[in-house]
Copies of this chain bind each other. A is one copy, B any other.
Amino acid sequence: MGNSFTALGSTSGMATTVTVWNEYVHEQENETVADIYPDGIHAVLADALEERGFETRTATLQEDEHGLTEDVLDDTDVLTWWGHTAHDEVRDDVVERVQERVHDGMGLIVLHSGHFSKIFKRLMGTSCGLQWREAAERERIWTVAPGHPIAEGVDECIELDEAEMYGEPFRVPEPDRLVFTSWFEGGEVFRSGCCYEREDGRIFYFRPGHETYPVYHNEDVLDVVGNAVEWAASGGSSDLPTVQNAEPREDIDTSDERSVH
């Protein structure tokens, strides 16, 4: 059996297809948020990714199967995830489906308060806790790994005038690659750009994005999201067996009968 390694969009010459998922609750219930994101955070993100050359669609909590049907996922190279207040309303079977797709090579970009989403906690195996404060304070997102593709085009740091603070300790596994670290005006730091691989899938956690500040209208932030999509689409999807009772490659005695299977 070979590793046919279905190339995702970005490496196959076809456009990478991104599904932008949003819980889409605050925007419909809170005026401050609605003013910033009248059509939802997902609309702004999808537009920005479309501009950067990706095929995009959106999906929200309220849709059937949260908009993440097998058909949609069949046509998704990279999924971005934003949620905050309704993590518990996401169906476990959909979470399991998304997790399996990640294992099979789908990229996943988890944004801001998505650190507490079911899907991120399941993929990390930890509580994903952190410290936080809403004080509209200044944040600087420093590039720690300047040669990493996700940092392409990013200055030494991205400066946001108004941000929610997230502070350490961030209860996640040590990232495979730490790309960004944030400085906050109030005195804290945070590992704000973290790469992971889980089976064939690439995962990037990116911190910026609070709902009451216009963070996703910042072009530098959107550039990073675009880079992350590109990076997450650049892995492969192997078709090597995942579980298999294997024939020996060498000529050995296989007559042992002591199995309890």
Enumerate chain A interface residues (CB-CB to B < 8 A). Answer: 1-5, 7, 11, 26, 29-30, 32-33, 85, 99-100, 103, 105, 122-127, 129-137, 140, 142-149, 151-157, 159, 162, 165, 167-171, 173-174, 176-178, 181-189, 191, 196-201, 211-213, 234-238, 240-250, 252-256, 258-261
Contacts and interface: CB of A to CB of B under 8 A. Distances in A.
Stoichiometry, as copies per complex, reads 4
B5 A152 contact: yes
Counting from the closest, the 7 A-B pairs by CB-CB distance are A187-B249, A147-B200, A186-B248, A146-B238, A136-B256, A129-B242, A212-B258
A232 to B, nearest CB: 12
A168 to B, nearest CB: 5
By secondary structure, the A interface counts as: loop
Contacts of A254: 133, 135
B127 A124 contact: no
Contacts of A247: 133
A23 to B, nearest CB: 12
24 contacts: A5-B152, A32-B258, A85-B260, A99-B125, A122-B122, A127-B243, A131-B246, A134-B261, A135-B248, A146-B238, A147-B200, A147-B236, A147-B237, A149-B235, A159-B249, A165-B246, A174-B197, A178-B191, A185-B248, A185-B250, A186-B248, A186-B252, A212-B258, A234-B234
